[in-house]
Each structure stands twice: as structure tokens, then as C-alpha cells.
Amino acid sequence: MHRPALLALLAALVGAASWWWGHLGWPGRGLVRGHVGDGAATLFLYALLWRTGRGPAAARAAIVAAIALLVEVAQAIHHGGGGAAGELVVGATADGWDLVAYAAGIGFGWAVEAISRAADDGARRRRR
């Protein structure tokens, strides 16, 4: 079951690239650093939970969505002061579009898992 680990690696690479994009001030940095990074973060969490192999995909999606929502609420309540590490982990600004990015990351992870499981089921049927 290497697919969840590969998905987590992909999400980590996309997240790191989006951070560098914003750090270097390249065009579209607000979109890339903020929203692509947020989507990558939820995709990473989804992949880690998928790697555990426990429970249904809907439960994993719900757990990641709850964590993302808590992060967004924390951003709305707490305004800065966390330094670079706090901004990287929690973020600095509450934004409704973050929820769309979170949903996209979760949806992409769920879709990859569904396609992966369908491929595994098809392979098992062909071996019988």
C-alpha cells in the first residue's frame, strides 16, 4: 500500500513549492501560497490517515475537514503573533476561499483513494 505514502509525498512537495512560490514573490503568490498550499495541507493529512488503513474514506474526509475548520476558526480568533512557524502551520488570515481549497484537497485525496481501490478490486477479480 504505497499509494498513500506517494500521495503524502506529492502533497508535501506541492506544499513546499507553494511556500517557496510565495516566499520568492512570484506572480500569483497570494493564490499559490495561500490556496494551493491549503489544498496541499489537507491532501497531506488525508493521505496520512489513508495510510493507517482504518475506517471508511468518508470518515477520513470528515476528520480532515474538522481539522481544517478548526484551523480556520483559530485564524479568525487569533490574529498573528505566532511567528513564521505559526504562520506556516496555522496560517495568518481567515479566508472563506480557504474552505474551498481545503475541500479541493480532501476531494482530490478521496478521488485518488477511490480510483486506487477500484483498480485493486479489478486486479483481484482478474486473478480469480
Instruction: Note the pLDDT tens digit of each residue in 42-71.
Output: 999 999 999 988 889 999 999 999 999 998
- pLDDT category at 100 given cuts 50, 70, 90 is very high
At residue 32, the pLDDT reads 86
At residue 7, the pLDDT reads 96
At residue 56, the pLDDT reads 93
This prediction's pTM: 0.84
- Residue-by-residue DSSP string for the chain: --HHHHHHHHHHHHHHHHHHHHHHT-TTHIIIIIIIHHHHHHHHHHHHHHHHT-S-HHHHHHHHHHHHHHHHHHHHH--S-SHHHHHHHT-S---HHHHHHHHHHHHHHHHHHHHHHHHHHHHHHHH-
Domain boundaries, the chain: 3-127
At residue 46, the pLDDT reads 97
Instruction: Note the pLDDT tens digit of each residue in 5-29.
Output: 999 999 999 999 998 998 898 898 8
